[in-house]
C-alpha cells in the first residue's frame, strides 16, 4: 500500500492512553509512510505537561511553577501561594480543567486533588496561577522557514462574573459566545516580538514539526508558556489556529497547504529510508 501513498495528512488523536497522539505516527513510521506534523517524540513530549514544562524551564523559557502530586499525602508540605490551578498532566481540550480547578485554600486544594487522582492518571499538577492576558500563537514550518501567524488574544471580560476568567472546560463548552477573540492581538511591537520569540523557542524545545499552537499568558510583560498543542484542531473558522491563518493573507487553504509543503520539504531533504535509519526517500509534491 505504501508505494501508492505520497504523504498522509495526520489528524488522528489516537485511541487511549497517555501516548495516544503518538500512536498513529508510530504506525506510519513502522510502515515507512511519510506524514505531516510532529514525530512520535514530539507528540509524546508535548502531551505530557510535566515533561514539557520541565523542558521549557531547562531552555530558560518562563512557565508557571508547579509541583506533581501522586498521592494526597504529597500535599502535606505544600508551600505554594494561593490561588493555584489543579490539572491533569496528560489531557487536552481543557479536560480536567474546570472552574473548580482554581483553588484558594488548602481545604479546596485537597478536595480537588483527591477528585483528580480518582479521574486521571497521576501525577496531578498543582500550578502557579498566572493572572494576565491570554494568547494563542500559531506556528507554521520548521527551522529557518518557521512563520508565526497573527497572535490571537482570548478575552474573558464578558463571562459571567462568578467565573474565574481562564480557558476552563465550562468556558469552552458553554460560554464560547461570551469569549472574545482578537486577532491580531493588540500588542506593542516590542511585546509582540517577545511573545513570538518565546513561542518559537518553546516549539523548538519540544522538537515539534510543521505546525503547532503555543498557549501563553502575559504578566508584567513576561510571556509564560502554559502548554503547547502539537496537533491543534483545524476546523475552519472555529479552531484557534485557523482563526489566526484567516486573519492574514495566508488564509485557511494556504495554511493547510503550508503544512503539506513543510512536510514535503522535510522528507525531500532526506535520503532513502533503510533498516535502522531515520531518513526517508524524497517525494514529489502532491499538488
Q: What per-residue confidence (pLDDT) applies to 270?
A: 62
The three grid cell numbers given for residue 138, joined into one nine-digit string: 500559531
Mean pLDDT of the chain: 90
Q: What per-residue confidence (pLDDT) applies to 15?
A: 77
In a domain, 229, yes or no: yes
Q: How confident is the model at residue 269 (pLDDT cuts 50, 70, 90)?
A: low
Q: What is the CA radius of gyration of the chain?
A: 20
In a domain, 87, yes or no: no
In a domain, 12, yes or no: yes
pTM, two decimal places: 0.89
In a domain, 224, yes or no: yes
Q: pLDDT tens digit string along 153-186?
A: 999 888 888 887 888 888 888 888 888 999 999 9
In a domain, 115, yes or no: no
Q: Quote the domain boundaries for residue 141.
A: 2-64+130-268
Residue with the bigger pLDDT between 275 and 84: it is 84
The three grid cell numbers given for residue 94, joined into one nine-digit string: 481543557
HEC profile of the chain: CHHHCCCECCCCCCCCCCCHHHHHHHHHHHHCCCECCCCHHHHHHHHCHHHHHHHHHHCCCCCCCEEEECCHHHHCCCCCCCCEEEEECCCCCCCCCCHHHEECCHHHHHHHHHHHHHHCCCCEEEEECCCCEEEEEEEECCHHHCEECCCEEEECCCCCCCCCCCCCHHHHHHCHHHCEEECCCCCCHHHHHHHHHHHHHHHHHCCCCCEEEEEEEEECCEEEEEEEECCCCCCCCCCHHHHHHHCCCCHHHHHHHHHHHHHHHHHHCCCCCCCCCCCCCCCCCCC
In a domain, 180, yes or no: yes
Residue with the bigger pLDDT between 166 and 256: it is 256
Q: How many domains does the chain have?
A: 1
Q: What per-residue confidence (pLDDT) applies to 133?
A: 96
The residues facing 219 across adjacent strands are: 222
272, pLDDT greater than 70: no
285, pLDDT greater than 80: no
CA distances from 219 to 119, 131, 144 (A): 31, 7, 29
**Alpha-carbon distance 210 to 212, whole Å?**
7
Mean pLDDT of 205-226: 98
Residue with the bigger pLDDT between 32 and 283: it is 32
Q: What per-residue confidence (pLDDT) applies to 94?
A: 62
Q: pLDDT tens digit string along 7-64?
A: 999 999 887 777 889 999 999 999 999 999 999 999 999 999 999 999 999 999 999 9
Low-confidence winner among 69-78, 88-97, 265-274 (lowest mean pLDDT) = 265-274
In a domain, 15, yes or no: yes
Q: What per-residue confidence (pLDDT) applies to 97?
A: 87
Contact at 8 Å (CB) between 52 and 84?
Answer: no
Q: What per-residue confidence (pLDDT) applies to 277?
A: 40
Q: What per-residue confidence (pLDDT) applies to 274?
A: 31
**Alpha-carbon distance 94 to 172, whole Å?**
8
The CA-CA-CA angle for residues 104, 162, 53, to 5°, reads 50
Identify the CATH number of the domain in which residue 229 sits.
3.30.470.20
Mean pLDDT of 212-232: 97
Q: What per-residue confidence (pLDDT) applies to 275?
A: 32
In a domain, 137, yes or no: yes
Q: What per-residue confidence (pLDDT) applies to 226?
A: 97
Q: pLDDT tens digit string along 105-115?
A: 999 999 999 99
Amino acid at each position: 500500500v505504501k508505494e501508492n501513498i505520497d504523504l498522509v495528512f495526520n489528524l488522528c488523536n489516537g485511541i487511549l492512553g497517555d501516548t495516544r497522539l503518538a500512536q498513529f505516527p508510530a504506525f506510519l513510521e513502522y510502515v515507512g509512510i511519510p506524514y505531516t506534523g510532529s514525530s512520535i517524540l514530539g507528540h509524546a513530549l508535548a502531551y505530557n505537561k510535566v515533561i514539557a514544562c520541565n523542558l521549557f524551564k531547562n531552555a530558560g523559557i518562563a512557565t508557571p511553577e508547579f509541583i506533581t502530586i501522586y498521592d494526597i499525602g504529597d500535599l502535606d508540605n505544600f508551600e505554594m501561594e494561593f490561588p493555584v490551578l489543579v490539572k491533569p498532566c496528560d489531557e487536552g481540550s481543557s479536560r480536567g480543567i474546570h472552574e473548580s480547578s482554581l483553588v484558594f485554600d488548602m481545604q479546596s486544594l485537597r478536595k480537588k486533588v483527591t477528585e483528580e487522582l480518582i479521574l486521571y492518571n497521576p501525577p496531578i499538577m498543582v500550578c502557579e496561577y498566572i493572572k494576565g492576558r491570554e494568547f494563542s500563537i500559531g506556528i507554521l514550518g520548521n527551522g529557518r522557514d518557521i512563520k508565526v501567524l497573527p497572535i490571537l488574544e482570548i478575552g474573558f471580560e464578558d463571562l459571567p462574573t462568578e467565573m474565574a476568567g481562564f480557558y476552563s472546560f465550562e468556558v469552552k463548552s458553554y460560554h464560547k459566545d461570551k469569549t472574545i477573540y482578537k486577532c491580531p492581538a493588540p500588542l506593542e511591537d516590542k511585546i509582540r516580538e517577545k511573545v513570538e520569540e518565546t513561542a518559537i523557542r518553546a516549539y523548538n524545545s519540544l522538537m515539534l514539526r510543521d505546525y503547532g499552537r503555543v498557549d501563553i499568558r502575559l504578566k508584567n510583560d513576561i510571556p509564560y508558556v502554559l502548554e503547547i498543542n502539537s496537533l491543534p484542531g483545524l476546523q475552519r473558522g472555529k479552531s484557534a489556529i485557523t482563526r489566526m491563518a484567516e486573519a492574514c493573507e495566508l488564509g485557511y487553504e494556504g495554511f493547510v497547504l503550508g503544512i503539506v509543503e513543510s512536510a514535503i520539504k522535510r522528507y525531500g531533504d532526506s535520503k532513502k529510508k533503510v533498516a535502522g535509519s531515520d531518513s526517508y526517500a524524497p517525494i514529489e509534491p502532491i499538488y
